[in-house]
């Protein structure tokens, strides 16, 4: 069965699922990045690492009207991760609802194909979605146990172990750190990798 790639990105309160929370999940179809999924998620614990929260909070839409408040501004010395978690607890969706909706979205847009998650890196983002599917979705993970690492595919294609998709110049100085916007950038980068594979 032919593959259909889903570019996805997550933002989290720390480095590992279970102990830390997935705060947002964004995804789009590689080859048609206008087909999109995005949710912000209630935290599963109060655990956090401040540096991770500073990154994850940059693109949270629930904070859009609060950026002028130092406690919600990740660049401020007064930034307060606990208050960000409070806002997500109030405005985010339940993890079970998010994973059910994500699975439904994946299934809907990959009919006749094998859905494959793709990320850069797959290790970090993929362990969060796998853990959340395992703990908050009562059916089989639609992606199974596999995924594609976009950087690894690029390195194989051009035979350079140091290659990185940032070389395509689509990220500017950095990713926006909104899970959906990052997923769209990754999709465009992966399309360039797949174009290289075609030659």
Of 68, 145, 164, 177, the active-site residue reads: 177
Tokens for 93? 């969706």
Query: Is residue 177 annotated as a catalytic residue, yes or no?
Result: yes
Contact 21, 82 (CB under 8 A): no
d(CA 166, CA 42): 31
Nearest to 92 by CA among 147, 22, 19: 22
Q: Is 149 helix (H, G, I), strand (E, B) or coil?
A: strand
Burial of 145 (0-12, 13-18, 19+ CB in 10 A): exposed
Query: What residues form DSSP beta bridges with 7?
Result: 28, 118
Contact 185, 8 (CB under 8 A): no
Q: Which residues are catalytic?
A: 177
């Amino acid at each position: 069965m032919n593959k259909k790639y889903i570019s996805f990105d997550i933002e989290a309160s720390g480095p590992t699922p279970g102990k830390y929370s997935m705060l947002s999940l964004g995804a789009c179809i590689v080859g048609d990045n206008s087909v999109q999924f995005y949710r912000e998620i209630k935290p599963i614990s109060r655990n956090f690492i401040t540096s991770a929260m500073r990154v994850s909070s940059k693109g949270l839409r629930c904070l859009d009207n609060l950026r002028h408040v130092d406690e919600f501004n990740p660049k401020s010395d007064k930034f307060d991760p606990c208050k960000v978690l409070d806002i997500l607890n109030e405005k985010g969706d339940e993890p079970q609802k998010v994973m059910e909706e994500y699975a439904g979205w994946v299934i809907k847009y990959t009919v006749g194909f094998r859905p494959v998650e793709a990320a850069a890196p797959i290790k970090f983002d993929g362990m969060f979605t796998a853990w959340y599917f395992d703990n908050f979705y009562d059916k089989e993970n639609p992606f199974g146990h596999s995924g594609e690492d976009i950087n690894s595919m690029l390195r194989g294609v051009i035979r350079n172990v140091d290659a990185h998709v940032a070389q395509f110049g689509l990220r500017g100085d950095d990713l926006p750190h909104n899970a959906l916007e990052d997923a769209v950038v990754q999709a465009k980068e992966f399309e360039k990798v797949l174009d290289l594979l075609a030659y």
